[in-house]
Structure 1
Amino acid sequence: MQTSSFIGAVDIMSTQTATERPILHGGRREAMREAYPAAPQPWIDLSTGINPIPYPIPTLPAECFTRLPDPEAATRLESIAAAAYHVSDAAMVAAAPGTQILIELLARLLPQQRIAILGPTYAEHQAAWARGGGSVDLIPDLDDLPAASSLVLCNPNNPDGRIIPPARLRALADHLAARGGLLVIDEAFADLADRATSMAATLPHPAIVILRSFGKTYGLAGVRLGFALADAPRAAAIRTALGPWAVSGPAIAIGTIALADPAWLAATQHRLTHAAATLDRLLTDAGMTIIGGTPLYRLAATATAPDWHDRLARAGIMTRRFDDHPSWLRFGLPADHTAWARLAAALSGNRPPLANHPDQ
């Protein structure tokens, strides 16, 4: 059985508002099992941009689970995060239970009358600022920036991996600061990019707020850990708005160890870069065109993307489709040799026929 209503749901910009339909994200294995009950098990989830080989979780003391986290432990985590992200002062770092809650919080804590969002990109930004009461303009290019009070963008971008040079971001931030606005930069995928990609070292800046994700690079999305980077007063306001014990004891313990392990991060960057190149070759050999991505995912284009999505799902492989760009498919990285072999087998052979989709 095939249910196109699910497989076409994506997390990029839509012309519909959050109140018209929910945003469905990747990783929804139960829904895919219902849609494709005959697919082989276990499912291979390539629908998210999460590292398939996670940071090794250390043995945690029982008190991480039985006691409320000490404020000093959270402060220590923020200091380690400041060093990892090259922020000059730990007072400019606010830890949170994932970046998603920060996206929601910023729209309420720092309301803006008019917000431009550079898309297509992660759709929760649009939804959150719209719920916060702002007027949202979706723009395809920075040259189209309207007279907005603030700008939101992802750098590197999801799903195409586009990177905006730091010099241009600094000029935009200065421009927005002059009108009392904000530049919100979602750096969820910046850990594996060139260090110069991040704007963290430019802090403090009166207009810049940066979001950093822990779970994607470290493959521990369920830990729910993220950070807001901003000037000290703004970071303090975010910390206060989140309230006490915002980050769980296990998340503090794991984050404190992992973020202080640059050797693991360097080895991971090397491994993922080579894995992404291997994935590019597989997709290209299958007749797809690589149009972007990061070391954690690749964005491919093909006229028969819906057929490929269905074919791969029937092989027990989840990918990401995009309603607004029906020729796009996004692929995360397989976790091991078995997953790579299944993907290669599913991609080999005859390509799905274009005739199945006369509307394209």
Structure 2
Amino acid sequence: MRPSNFNLKKIGKAPGTLTYTGNKTRDKTILELITYNDESYKKERQDNIESISFMKEDINWLNIYGLNDTNQIDEIGERFEINNLLLEDILSIGQRPKIDYNSNYVFIVLKMLSFNKEEFKIEEEQVSFVLKDNFLLTFQEREGDIFDKVRNRIESVDSDIKKYGADYLLYSLIDNIVDNNYLLLKELQTMIDKVEISIIEENYDDKLKDIYKLRKELMVVKTSVWPIRDILFELINRVSLITSDVKEYFKDVNDHVAQIMDYIMIYRETINGLFDTNMSATSNRMNEIMTTLTLYSTIFIPLTFITGVYGMNFVHMPELDERWSYPLFWVISIIVCGGMVTFFKRKKWL
């Protein structure tokens, strides 16, 4: 979760007041309903809850796109008996991943991450889930997500997802969100490799900036994934609406989360190593430059001495009256410079 001032919109308001704290706005909220069972599949899109026809005996997945219309969200809450405190959490963009449940519902907030290749940054979107009997509601700020594979599985005739209830659908969506983090880590690994190669090739321009950017993006992944462990613990051990068969699948998701956290720890150490490597390389490079400048300054010390001696305004300096004094000065200077350079190279100082 990136730090922001989203909570400022809620200051001074009573608990349960519906206030959308995000920045994404739509002209109207879109409701997409997918209804299915072992033998049938139906999909419809509407712009208000009154036009939606639910099949209580089937599995109903209602995906809501757009959260800025608080009146529409309030109507959805009344239709499904979702209290205002949960609706407030749904509209509070920047909410920490969390779970709330009782014998009638399960409420989950997660972060869905995506990688912006143009800006080389990780973007996050809050996704809220409400599970009630055969109904699963998902709330998103905008259209476009990573759930198309799940939709395609539901649409398929022989899909295994149709053999289970809405709790298995919830598992499938959460599993998609968790597994998507592997793709993000792959992008981060590519960025880390590029920075590392640049450092090795002694291209130091803006490398410190890139390293801090990597550290920041990795922190976004960590803060989004870390709380999922607690959510999965509750789903596996305490939530009664999740059947024992589906809990086994959630255990597999928990293994994935643990593996992702291991990768995050490895990447963090790698990035810290890049920081140290960059600082050492920069320091070594600076030492090389200072050494070279010092050596060349040393070469000019005897030349400065010679020119200083014969630049004095004494009258009786025999060498000044000789015809070959000036050419002799350059010969001596060249010999001194050449001798010192040869000496430095034998010592491997140059």
Please give the range of the TM-score, normalised by the shorter of the 2 chains.
under 0.3
Larger proportion of helix: 2
Normalised to the residue count of structure 1, the TM-score between the two structures is 0.25
